[in-house]
Structure formats: structure tokens, C-alpha cells
A and B are shown apart, each in its own frame.
Chain A
């Protein structure tokens, strides 16, 4: 089946404006008759829930944490892109659009990316008006920094805590609507099932994480804004509770999962150091503005990095990519770091790291400037590694960070299931095969503040607000399914903890569906993942009971879903016989070792339809047509 992206006709600059006019509206007096469920309260979810609440819909917002303010958007460090051109350095909506399509290696939908670039400017206005304390210059105007994959400075930031400040802005807007009575908050609830009635998404079943009660919530539309699935790999920069359960459950209920193999490995993270390690820590990409990446030319150079003179260092990114230097896109920077380590030129005790050096920047700009720009990042590095980046180079290595894949959505951010909308990292849109830095915050807020409120209205205007009963057979069936599954997890009483099995899955995924992939490895993954899954359902131990706060049980449910999703990731990676962006198939590379796309055969988004356990998923293609930007071999030289 060919998927209909529902991209409006007309010139790219006018599509969204025209579409906004053509979409249906709901009369203000009728809005409160419609209930919209928003699952997840990160940037996309909180901004959507707040805005839908302002418009007068009856909104219920769910989060797994104790408060919406803890969603993982909070950890984003570096910044948010916007085509304001405040720097007068040649930026424009068109250039941001172009950079994003190119950065995504021509695997995204042009019209959606253009709209994202267009809305980027409104986001900055919105956030400033909310009181987000962005960095400013002495004239009182906003400051910008540069990020990878761009030759202009278009990134707005709040020290190294931009995600925190934007999320607290969205959270405050959300709490305003809670106070106004238009949004009801359901914290400590985990969505475990989507309920589909007569082909439409009509509600969810959540588990109350304090009491274990399974609660049904009926609605006219459901919005999933539950983030990405990077935690499939166990070690990632994602928060520990970040999970794929909501989107995976929706996928099992019929929503297509697009491009699951498009995962982003972030180049600047603190290297892995021990087998007890629970997560990896990102060092913002903004560090590549002033930090220079290098390795010793001699792999066996025994000297302390400070004692290695200029001529014995290889600044391999600057040498290979003179135009972009250390600011090449993330996929390129990560792969090149891996190359260096694979060649034995890695540094540190594990030899799986490269240097990120601020010596020259400190000399040029002074310690104070560097401290003002990156102080909290340097402090975080010192806490974890116990070394001072002011006096010696940082050591960094790539780590799983973001997932471009997600549930397939059309131009309206609606999945193939009517009434199921998906926003933020949870959907597959906009970033193609590689996301540029500082674009995740942009997309989350564009989706939540400015797109979903319009498109959800258009959908609701076409359906009657009928009052479905929570006792409806589909809800009862979903509650029973969730309850059975939970009891099954508790009854295995085996010998291995959730973390142990998750770690095993993570190592396999990192090895075979990680930074570079090949046919043999992917085929091995496809045979080994089901074996781990079997081991999980046979030998898992989960202490405690359902009717209580039970963190092991929560983790078990999430890992059960990762064990299914990982297989789809490998399946997708095996089917995509090309390299593009973060999906690097070793068989398909240029003589210089860059990703070799195959536009003839693979210029499409691969949307997979679940067919039941043990059966191969069915592929649906959304053909990607490029009317404005001509796909070329990406070059950052």
C-alpha cells in the first residue's frame, strides 16, 4: 500500500498557510465537549496539552513521573534552532529548511520540514513571552551560537540548560491550564494500551504506578508524545524511564512504525567506563564550537595529552572536512570517531575515546568566556570523570542519543489510525535519517504549540463527540490484556533481573544495530533477539506485587516491549540496502567512507505494519519526492 502523506498542494512556502485556512474549526462553545488525551508531558506533550487547554478542549495529560516538569526534554543542553537571522549571517527559513533536509540525508518529507523551519521563528517569540531566560547580549537582545551541520549561528540557548528552560516554560503554560480547569493532570500513570473502537483511537488504559490500578480513559482523540526509543540499547543518554511502550502498544494495535533503524549516535558523550554503568552522559554538541577533536598520530604515544605537541596530533575532522571542521553533522562526527578507535588511535584506559580539547579556545578567549559558555558542562564532566577540562582535554565517545524513527504520521501528525496523533520524538517526521543539533527542541515545540492544536481540531470537527462508555467491550478487553500481562511478568519467578537481560539486549543492539551495520550482523541480531526474549519470559525475576509502587515491574514491561522493537529495528536496517545519515551499512559506502545512498530504490519512508507475534511485518512505503531540494551526495568538505 502507498501511504498518503496528505501534503497540501501549492508552492512549498504557502502549503501550511493555505492548509490552516482549509482545515475545519470547532466552535468555541463545542470544544469542551471533546476530550483529548495527551500522553507524555515533555516539550511536545506539555505544549500541546497547554495549547489545547487554552483553546477550550477537555484535556487529560498523563506522565510517568511525579510531575510533568521531569520529562526528559529537560536534559537537552545546547539549544534550539530558529531562522530569525538575528545575526545577519545569511540565515532564512529556506536555509534552515535546506540544512535540515540535507542534514537528514534526504530521507525526510520536504513539506513537513519547510513548515518546521517556518514555525521556528514563532517558537522563539512564544518562549521569550513565557519568560524563558535565553542568553542575551549587552544590548538586551538575544544571543546565538553555532551548531553542527550549519554555517550560520541560529541556535538560541539558555546556558547549557536550554531544554530545561523550554520545558519549564511549557510546564508553566500547562500548569496555568490545570489551574484554569481545562487540563486535568494524571501523574505517575503509564500508558499500557491503546484502545481502538470502530477503527478510531478512542482511549487508553494506564497503570497507576502507586496503586497498580488499571484505569481506562475514553476520548475523542489521543496524542502520543512519549519520546524516543534509544533505551533499546540499555546504555544511552536517555533518562532511565524513557521507553517505547506507548508507541509500541499503539503499533501492535495497528499504527505503522516508520524507519525504526534511523537512530542517532551522538558524537560527544562521556565514554563508557564500567560494567555497573547505568547510563551515558551527553556533553552538548555546542562544545564543538570551541573544542577541537583530535587523537595522537602515534597510537602508542605514551605521553599525557598536554605534552603531545601540535605536529604529533591528528585533528582528523578539521583535516577531512575543512569547510565544516569540528561542526560536521552528528552522524559523520560519530562515525569518524569510531574509525579512529577502530584503527587503534583511541585514547584513555579503554582506548575507546578521542580528545575534545579547549586549550586553544581558552588561550584565545580566556577562561572566563569559556566558563560562561560551558561552565555547567565542564563541571558535570569533572564530577563524572574526575578530571578538569580547563587543564586537560576531555575524552569523548559516541553514544545512543535520539531516534529519528517513530510512529508514521501524515502532514497533520496523525497516524494511519484515525484519531491517533503523534508528536515530538515519538513520531518519525522531519529529521530523515539524521537529526541536526538543536532541532529536537524545535520540532517538539512546533508540533505541540503550533501544529497539533490545528490538526486535532480539523479531525474533531469531522467526528461527533459521542460519549463512549468506559465499560465498552474494547476497554474491558484492553484492561484484561494489561492485567494478564502484568501478572505474567510477576509469575515467572526466574533468576535474572530485568536490568541483566536489558543489558544483554543493549550490548547486542549496540554491536549489530549500532553505529555501523552489515548484513551478517543484522541477520545474527534477528536470530539472537528472539532468544533473549524467550529467556526474558522464562527466567525473569520481578520482586513485589502489582498493587504497590513497583519499579522493577515497570521496567519489566518496558523491556518486554524493547525486546520486540529491537527486532523490528534490525529487520528495517536489513531491508534498507543503502547507507543514509545515521543508518550506515558497511556494504554501501563511497570510496572515502561516506554514506552511499540509493535514491533509486530507497527514497521512501519505510512504515511497518504489525502482523502478530512471530510474523514478519508488512512494509508500506511513503515515497519521498523532492520538488525543491535536489538530493546530492552530502558534502561537508
Chain B
């Protein structure tokens, strides 16, 4: 058992999208500094359940920073104060005894609230569905070595492909823009020779779907990059803009 701390939590509680939400205050004592943020919430929830109260609903699954389920705004920052860190990988040792933590859900028009800290991010699926793939059938692939790929390009593709779809970029953006999320998929595929033939359709359809989902516009605040737990660079947004411009200027079908 390492060092322990006492905390004041102000947690957003809201039964569902129709009801009104509020910040509820909880005092939490003796939290181990080596516990993760979500383990700290587990401790709170155990106490609530023992008192017969409903635990705080929050999404989580792998607790290794890769599934993209978890996320909350902690003291105004998406995923809390540590850079390149999901909420599940944030440890309490980065806070101080006596701290007050304000914990809120992602807030964005395109992410309607479901309950407490849980929001609906299905808009992301809709954007991928609109074109975030290479159209090929199982079994129709040539040998993996048929197309060599420049290592440096492949590395950049991988940088972009690391996106975990958590939505912190949207939550951090003053406009609620999903440009970094969409760009990460567009740029990942744009850096590879595979699927090049459908690149124009892809970027046009994905961006159109992004707009339909109600995400805001990008006005270059770069809050998304700062909040991204995978450090995905806004350079990918520039890449997407170039892809989009080129596609938009080309006559259909070419």
C-alpha cells in the first residue's frame, strides 16, 4: 500500500437525456496513490452501492488505454491532466491529498448523453460506415508482398491508425469538431497504396457524413491534439484537407 489521499469529487449525475443533470459532491477517503482513476471511481461506486445508492455510470473495458471506452472531463480537461494518457491509465499519484476533482461527461451536440458520464458516440461508427475502409472481399487479396510500401509512409499510416475512437478530440474542441478522428482514418489509408482507387469517394463521403452528424468545424485550436491519448498530430487534418480538396475538384468518377 503506497501513500493515500482524501479527495472531494464533484461528479456529473444525470439519469438520462430527458432529465436534468447536476454535480453531486462526494468525499472519498484513503485512496491509494497507485490506484488508477477508474479504480478510484470503483471505490466510490462500492461505497455508493453499500449505501443503497446507484453507482456512477461510466464506460470502461480494457483498462489498458486501447479500447477507447473510457473518458471523462476532469477539471476541465478531457482524460484529465496527463498528456497522452487515457483516463484508465491516469493514476492517482498525479493528484494531491485534499484535491477537488470535477468529473463530467464528454459534452458535444453529436454525443448525446445517455447516463451520468456515459455518452452516445455512435456518430463515429456512422462516419466509418460512410467510407472508412478499403473495398475488398475476403479471399481476394494478392500476396502480401505484391505491393511494397515505403517504410516511412507505413510508419505515418500507423501513427494515424492508432486512434482509439474515444472521442476526447471532440470533447476538447471548442467547436465540438471531429476532424482529428475522421482525419486519422483518412490519413491512415491515404498513406498506403492499397485502396488508393477509391480515395476520392472515401474522403468526400466521410466528411459529408461527419457534417451530417452535427460535429462542428475545425478552427485550428489544436485542443484535439493536446487531448488525444495517442498523440495523433493535427498534421493528419492537413492531410485530410488536401485529400478533400483534390477529391472535390475532380470530376466524379475519376
State how many residues of chain B have any CB contact under 8 Å with chain A. Answer: 79
Q: A74 to chain B: which residues have CB within 8 Å?
A: 62, 66-67
Contact A50 B138 (CB under 8 A): yes
Rounded to whole Å, the gap between the CB of A76 and the closest CB of chain B is 9
CA–CA, A544 to B50, complex, Å? 12
CA–CA, A548 to B60, complex, Å? 18
Rounded to whole Å, the gap between the CB of B64 and the closest CB of chain A is 6
Closest Cβ neighbor of A445 among chain B residues: B138
Q: B151 to chain A: which residues have CB within 8 Å?
A: 136-138, 140
Binds B, one of A118-126, A295-303, A362-370, A402-410: A118-126
| B41-55 at interface with A (beta carbon < 8 Å) | 42-43, 46, 48-50, 52-55
Does B140 count as interface, using CB distance less than 8 angstroms? yes
Rounded to whole Å, the gap between the CB of B53 and the closest CB of chain A is 6
Contact A158 B158 (CB under 8 A): yes
| B119-152 at interface with A (beta carbon < 8 Å) | 120-122, 124-125, 128-130, 132-145, 147-151
| B135-173 at interface with A (beta carbon < 8 Å) | 135-145, 147-151, 154, 157-158, 161-162, 164-165
Contact B50 A541 (CB under 8 A): yes
Does A164 count as interface, using CB distance less than 8 angstroms? yes
The interface size bin for chain A is: 35 or more
Contact A541 B34 (CB under 8 A): no
Q: A67 to chain B: which residues have CB within 8 Å?
A: 121-122, 124-125, 165
CA–CA, A219 to B64, complex, Å? 36
CA–CA, A335 to B133, complex, Å? 43
| B52 touches which of A126, A176, A541 (Cβ 8 Å) | A541
Does A258 count as interface, using CB distance less than 8 angstroms? no
Contact A274 B32 (CB under 8 A): yes
Contact B194 A72 (CB under 8 A): no
Contact A133 B188 (CB under 8 A): yes
Q: Interface readout for A272-307 with B: 1 if CB under 8 Å, 0 if not? A: 011011110110000000000000000000000000
Contact B145 A383 (CB under 8 A): no
Contact A131 B188 (CB under 8 A): yes
CA–CA, A129 to B142, complex, Å? 7
Does B249 count as interface, using CB distance less than 8 angstroms? no
Contact B141 A129 (CB under 8 A): yes
Q: A239 to chain B: which residues have CB within 8 Å?
A: 61-63, 67
Closest Cβ neighbor of B136 among chain A residues: A129
Rounded to whole Å, the gap between the CB of B145 and the closest CB of chain A is 5
Rounded to whole Å, the gap between the CB of A118 and the closest CB of chain B is 14
A sample of 24 cross-chain residue pairs with beta-carbon separation below 8 angstroms, ordered by A number, consists of A47-B138, A54-B138, A67-B124, A68-B125, A75-B67, A125-B141, A125-B143, A129-B141, A131-B157, A131-B189, A133-B157, A136-B149, A136-B154, A137-B151, A164-B162, A187-B125, A239-B62, A240-B61, A274-B1, A276-B42, A384-B89, A499-B46, A542-B49, A549-B114
Kindly list 4 other residue pairs between chains A and B, CB separation below 8 angstroms, not including A125-B142, A175-B133, A549-B114: A129-B134, A138-B151, A158-B161, A544-B55
10 nearest A-B residue pairs (beta carbon): A140-B148, A129-B141, A172-B133, A125-B141, A133-B158, A128-B144, A239-B61, A51-B138, A133-B157, A239-B62
